[in-house]
Amino acid sequence: MTYATSNSRDSADARIVLTNKEAARKLGISHRTLEDWRLTSRGPRFVKLGRLVRYRLPDLLDFMDRNSFMNTAQAAAA
């Protein structure tokens, strides 16, 4: 886990950035699935730092919130 320096947000969590493998582990998916989602615009927001791809912790949490459902009918309707 690495830390980005940013003055634009107050929360310490907003400065935590994760690698592709770390983010995939947090989401409980393979890093290949996360790469596929990124390439097809289906995954969480990410940050490009030169050639590096990183994920901010709040963006992962937002992604999980947007994909949370009470039952399968809700999920199918989304």
Compute φ and ψ for 50, nearest 5 degrees: 65, -120
The Cα–Cα gap between 11 and 6 comes to 10
Output the pLDDT for position 1: 57
pTM of the model: 0.76
Residue-wise pLDDT for 24-70, tens only, equals 999 999 999 999 999 999 999 999 999 999 999 999 999 999 999 98
Residue 5 — pLDDT band, cuts 50, 70, 90? very low
Amino acid at 54: R
Other beta carbons within 10 angstroms of residue 63's beta carbon come to 18
Output the pLDDT for position 8: 45
Residue 78 — pLDDT band, cuts 50, 70, 90? confident
